[in-house]
Amino acid sequence: MPDQSKAVRFEEIALPHLGAAYNLARWLLHNEHDAEDVVQEAYLRALKSFSGYYGGDSRSWLMTIVRNTCYTWLQKNRALRLSDPIEDKLDEVGLDFADPEMILLQSADSQMVRHALQELPVEFREVMVLREMEDLSYKEIADIVDVPIGTVMSRLARGRKRLQALLAKRMGKEARIELPRNA
Amino acid sequence: MSCHETRELIHGYVDGEVDLVKSMEIEEHLRDCHACTQSYKGIRSLHSVIGDGALRFDPPTNFERRLRSTLRRESEPQRRSIILRWRWVLAGTSLIAAVIVIWVVAGIFGRQSTGDLVAEEIVSSHVRSLMADHLTDVPSSDRHTVKPWFDGKLDFSPPVKDLSQQGFNLNGGRLDYIGNRRVAALVYQRGQHSINVFVWPSSGAAPVNEKASVHQGYNLIRWTNAGMTYWVVSDLNLAELQQFAQLLQGESQALS
């Protein structure tokens, strides 16, 4: 009986976060089947360590496990490459515009944003997904990604700048909108 | 607030992670600065396109049902053996007992280790305050401005000293969090070096005499005095930082 009630309690706590868990895995792994496998594995891991969960923020707890399972999978199946923080320059994405921060997007651009976001290095992509799509606070993201809050802030800032630069480049190619060069 | 400062903090502002004082300064700057307003709008537009749900991936149909039955299958076999389960309970209890013993022993012999944790937090907080250009919430060299600023923001009143005569200029104060509690951070300047002084009530902890340490290349000095815990951190050399600590202690003793 206790195992049964434990399983029920686990489902009550963990399944409401399935949407967030799947979305993160899908964004990190780029592929529907892999995301499904990894989320399932993460939930099994979470069930096993459920006795070690003593209340608190269940979403952060579960998302940490999902995120770590994704990274393990990436390391095993694709050579996981994090961008070198020192080598990390905006130039590499081709900064054609005076200030890509100033491009204004509309909801019609979402397909283009999707492709650009997929091009971002994984450590920027994950904070963007957690912040912009799941609406998590810096503190929650810091717990999940296991970095200081200051790092979350700088990764978000750099992630957004990179994304804007990528978008500016795409928009420039397609010559779809006027970009303000100087303001 | 300058354009440079605004650009540093604009992401925190968009995300609602900047304190009220800074938010108001940013808003004031945005009212006057076209370039920063454009960049703010750019970030907002990115935020709304990514956040409107169109970019979210929903779990495939039936995934939740399949996952649920996998989880059920997984938790079933454990019901078979009651003996096995009792073994686990026994093992778990011994483990908890061991942890408690270690915890108590570490509590007795390992005071230093909590100090180390605090030291780490102090250093990160110091570094963050310099990095995000968020040294002060109340920039003022007048202690009669800085001290009252904390009223109502803290449940204690930190002593604020004017040490400009001795070459340590008061830059201002700010609220910070150390060990999950609100603390006062006072910022002094010695030449090019910023000094953060963290102050909070000692809450019954045993008084500590002045103690210096080095963490990640920063010098730290801590002590307790008149029911307050003090941590001083800076990249200033130890001798001058000790002089500073002495001055702070001397004056607070004279006051209390």
pLDDT tens-digit series, residues B51-90? 888 899 999 989 999 999 888 888 775 555 556 667 778 8
Residues of chain A with C-beta less than 8 angstroms from the C-beta of B74: 44, 47
Assess contact for B9 and B40: CB atoms under 8 A.
Answer: no
pLDDT at A131 (0 to 100): 95
pLDDT at B113 (0 to 100): 55
Q: pLDDT, tens digit, for every residue of B192-249? A: 899 999 999 887 667 778 888 888 889 999 998 888 899 999 999 999 999 999 998 8
pLDDT at B156 (0 to 100): 87
Burial of A33 (C-beta count, 10 Å sphere; 0-12/13-18/19+):
exposed
pLDDT at A62 (0 to 100): 94
Tell me the backbone φ, ψ of residue B3, rounded to 5 degrees.
Answer: -60, -40
Non-local (6+) Cβ contacts of B153 within 8 A are: B175, B182
Sign of the CA dihedral running A62, A67, A70, A71: negative
pLDDT at B145 (0 to 100): 85
Q: Please name the residue of chain B whose CA is at the shortest distance from the CA of residue A134.
A: B51
Secondary structure (3-state) at B115: helix
Average pLDDT over residues B96-119: 73
Does B68 contact A131 at a Cβ distance shorter than 8 Å? Answer: no
pLDDT at A79 (0 to 100): 67
The count of other CB atoms within 10 Å of the CB of residue A5 is 9
Sign of the CA dihedral running B113, B118, B122, B127: positive
Distance from B252 to chain A by nearest Cα, in Å? Answer: 33
Average pLDDT over residues B139-163: 86
Please name the residues between 113 and 132 in chain A that touch chain B, using a CB distance below 8 Å. Answer: 113-114, 117, 128, 131-132
Contact of A22 with chain B, judged by CB distance below 8 Å, is answered with yes
Contact of B80 with chain A, judged by CB distance below 8 Å, is answered with no
Contact of A149 with chain B, judged by CB distance below 8 Å, is answered with yes
B52: its two tokens: 């409107």
Mean pLDDT of chain B: 84
Q: Which residue has the higher pLDDT, B139 or A166?
A: A166
B121: its two tokens: 């937090």
- How is the beta sheet containing B193-201 ordered, strand by strand? B138-139, B169-178, B181-190, B193-201, B228-234, B218-225, B211-215
Percent of chain B with pLDDT over 90: 29
Residue numbers of chain A with a pLDDT score lower than 50: 1, 84-98, 175-183
B158: its two tokens: 């930190």
Q: pLDDT, tens digit, for every residue of B6-20? A: 888 899 999 999 889
Does B39 contact A6 at a Cβ distance shorter than 8 Å? Answer: no
